[in-house]
Structure 1
């Protein structure tokens, strides 16, 4: 495939949607151009995994907890940038996880984190005080009217704090509002649960996540061991037809959840898509086995496993990104605009897209490609299909979220 093809395809698609493509003609004289900044978060391997923030391609490693166990901040999962009218400069908020023990590789022993402008803004420890492996993590971030919302998980196995369903799951889905935690109900037989992304509109909270029913079914990779979940104002919407939810967003009237839809008819693969329904339905169940209250849209090709990882809705256009698994075993990063899909990467690169942000007439997509030289992933951003590497001096890196302002 020609290296320029993804950029040309995206430009053609934008043109077809009555959006101007890349400017090709010089202007004389030119009006001043307000160049936005591109903020991206993720991880960099230095050689341990480290939470990282990139601003216009320049990486800053986010600080760990300030205590005797400061082994590192290991995850940066979501970024939001808001105007600060007092300083005139934007404030950069990042949600993630930092270790609180000397075992840098441990999945447990961690604290949920929010960083502001590259410094620790708040840390949210596990609610367990007796369990040896104490852990909490923040996966999703949303800021509404000055309130900081984060979605994630906390251990609760031996906690004296009773959740909505006080079972003995060792990991429970939660969201925090300004550090105040709300436990989210999970199936009584579930072994683990996790909140992964959230959004807020008119004071109403919408959280997506996963349930896992065995210890082996880690919620980070749900499948045969788990199922997707959607909570509205802390109440689970039962029978939501989205087994692999990855992203949630709203318009003034609709709720959208993107991810992968269960196989249809005689198919055996999960295909990228999204579901949506009226916001006014709130936490009303879809009905046993019936997705009737939700409408579903399939984006992925028949016969190929694919997934939507992020969505943004601008006017009448729905932008979705994700990946498609080809028969060769390689992943191809995908962008869909109003159900028209284009490849952002060549099949030989084995790339995935994880985040999308539309600014004016430009479409920014974050993700990673395989680094052939050392087998680590390489963080990249596509702008209108043209790819830029953010890997820099890191051995490996990956983008989880981008924001353009």
Structure 2
């Protein structure tokens, strides 16, 4: 089991990789950094995220711990998700160009803009199915953020823009495109799944909620995120039926879900009363990745 995130000791966050619970630092702590996504292909472990150069965030990919810059440091840039297919490393993210965030993908380090920079946009998740490259995120339309995804660079809009929304995670299975995210209903954020563009609500709108991760296995839809009721409650939904992973005593959040051999792995973090602790759940059984002495966060899990 592989997981990535960061640990924040003194002033600088250190990007981290955990393999079966054993931590390895991806950065030395000179500059603030974080790892946002992990993918394992063969014997190679890929992590993506960012590291500051003292002034700007540089989008980065680490292959077996060795860093490579995706951006040149002239503009702030962030890598959010990684997928490897037939030896090609695909990364989603965004770069601040001028006054706006531009949604981007990189293929083996070569950048392509998904948005034109007129309005803020980002790409939060990437998935490759056959010869098709999908990325999910959002773009501001002048009034609200619109949930959308791109297929081979062509945008497909999921929401009308009447209320703010975002597509946070994407999974393609049997030519069906599943997306997890949220849409505001005028009062609360509703956690949602879109299947081929058709929305399904995970929550009833009584509390703010968001779906940050999705995984399809044996035609089962696993979605993970949070619902807020006085504190942030970690949740997982199996075929739209929700289960709490935390009791609401202290705030806890989920960022990633992965299913392997009928085991469901979830990555996130939660408060111990004073610090945030990086966490993994396997079939709803919790394991802490850090001891709680420093703030730490776990953003992605991959099992191989």
Q: Which has the higher strand share?
A: 2
Q: Does 1:123 align with 2:22?
A: no
Alpha-carbon contact 1:249-1:311 (below 8 Å) kept: yes
User: Which of residues 89, 92, 95 is equivalent to 1:148?
Assistant: 89
- Partners of 1:40 and 1:269 in 2: CA distance: 31
**How many residues get paired?**
300
Alpha-carbon contact 1:127-1:154 (below 8 Å) kept: no
In the other structure, the counterpart of 2:101 is 171
Q: What is the SS of the residue equivalent to 1:303?
A: coil
What is the CA distance between 1:81 and its match in structure 2? 0.8
Unaligned runs of 5+ in 1: 1-37, 65-69, 84-89, 104-108, 129-133, 158-168, 215-223, 278-293
Distance 1:82 1:74, change over 3 A: same
- Partners of 1:393 and 1:307 in 2: CA distance: 25
Deviations along 1:76-115, one digit per CA (max 9) or x if unpaired, are 01000111xxxxxx211001101112x5xxxxx1211110
Name the stretch that deviates more: 43-52 or 74-83: 43-52
Q: Does 1:44 align with 2:16?
A: no
- Partners of 2:24 and 2:31 in 1: CA distance: 13
Q: Which has the higher helix share?
A: 1
In the other structure, the counterpart of 2:35 is 76
What is the CA distance between 1:352 and its match in structure 2? 1.1
What is the CA distance between 1:387 and its match in structure 2? 0.7
In the other structure, the counterpart of 1:283 is none
Q: Does 1:244 align with 2:244?
A: no
Alpha-carbon contact 1:127-1:156 (below 8 Å) kept: no
1:300-379 correspondence to structure 2 within 5 Å: 300-326=203-229, 329-372=230-273, 374=274, 376-379=275-278
What is the CA distance between 1:331 and its match in structure 2? 0.8
Q: Under a length normalisation based on structure 1, what TM-score does the superposition of the two structures give?
A: 0.70
Alpha-carbon contact 2:147-2:157 (below 8 Å) kept: no
- Partners of 2:135 and 2:202 in 1: CA distance: 23
Unaligned runs of 5+ in 2: none
Distance 1:339 1:393, change over 3 A: closer
In the other structure, the counterpart of 2:296 is 397
In the other structure, the counterpart of 1:13 is none
Deviations along 1:46-82, one digit per CA (max 9) or x if unpaired, are 2221111111111111136xxxxx8335110100011
Distance 1:193 1:399, change over 3 A: same
- Partners of 2:244 and 2:157 in 1: CA distance: 34
Q: What is the SS of the residue equivalent to 1:334?
A: strand
Q: Under a length normalisation based on structure 2, what TM-score does the superposition of the two structures give?
A: 0.92
